[in-house]
Amino acid sequence: MICVSLIILIGGYTRISDSGLSITEWKPISGVLFPITQVAWLEEFAKYKLIDEFKLINNTMTLNEFKHIYFWEWFHRFFARFIGLVFIIPLFFLLMKNKVVRLDLPYIVSIGFLGMLQAIIGWYMVKSGLVDRVDVSQYRLSFHLITAFLILGLTLTFYVKKKTLESSIFISKEEKNESKYFLILLVLIFIQIFYGAYVSGTDSGLLYNTWPNYNSNLIPSNIFSENPLISNFFENGDFIIFFHRTFAALISLVILLINYRVFNNFFLKNYRRTVVIINILFLIQMCLGILMTYQNIPWHLALLHQGNSILIYAMLVYTCSVAVFAQAKSD
């Protein structure tokens, strides 16, 4: 879980620093090697000079500047390989010693499959920015990001399942029923994270450095400029940032509803600490989003924003998973 969270943040910085297109080939084995000699560096730089990002945006880039962006893309891929080893090596020894529980296989196979799929998606994403573009496709970027969160969520659910069943944790019927509201909130947060990739992929967050209005307007004037209408959801920067902010307001209303229900029901008192933590994390998330808006998305605030979204997501996955497996154990 820690490794998956870290690679999400590393990937976030790779995106923010515009490093993602610095390596123009996918070499699953030999790609682990880092250029050391001057000849190797000049070779990699020559490959980068062939793509449109260099020709149209970075044509004055020096070799030393290239080394910086190359490192982050290489490190992102290297860490992904490291996670693969962290998954495969312990699994191999557990299989050899026949210590893998049959009921755990669906989780293990799913996590492994998503991990392999993520590598393919990552290259599929990079390829979209190598020809006739100066950036990767926001569609493929969102696919790459949300797959990482699926892996994180599934890994955490698997962990909670094992711990909850081993510890024989029980929850009340009222708490079990209430968990559906946390599940609704989890789904909304998942959608917001997914859509955040479109904000990043289209640079929509840079369009307005005012909040809550949009350069003195309550609603951006061009939110329906694309045709067909559905295209505005994914390609119109004005609509994308408007929807992202508005959806955050919807999430805040759901959190208020959960607060009301939990703090007005004595039988839900065990959820109160969880709700307080969610409140704090969401307030931090909103403050970071507003600060980013006013400061034109500095990298450190963007990473904090993404890191805090991981905490909110993980908190909700944990809460929902405990409710599911504690109930299953108590039957």
As beta bridge partners, residue 214 has 217
Q: How far is CA 72 from CA 21, 27, 62, 157, in A?
A: 10, 16, 16, 30
pLDDT tens, residue by residue, 273-302: 999 999 999 999 999 999 999 998 999 999
SS3 184: helix
Name the one residue in this structure whose structure tokens are 């290239």. Answer: 66
pLDDT tens, residue by residue, 221-279: 889 988 899 999 999 999 999 999 999 999 999 999 999 999 999 989 989 999 999 99
SS3 33: coil
**Global confidence as pTM:** 0.92
pLDDT tens, residue by residue, 185-200: 999 999 999 999 999 9
Phi, psi of 33 (to 5 degrees): -75, 135
pLDDT tens, residue by residue, 56-109: 999 999 999 999 999 999 999 999 999 999 999 999 988 888 888 888 899 999
Q: Are 122 and 144 in contact (CB under 8 A)?
A: yes
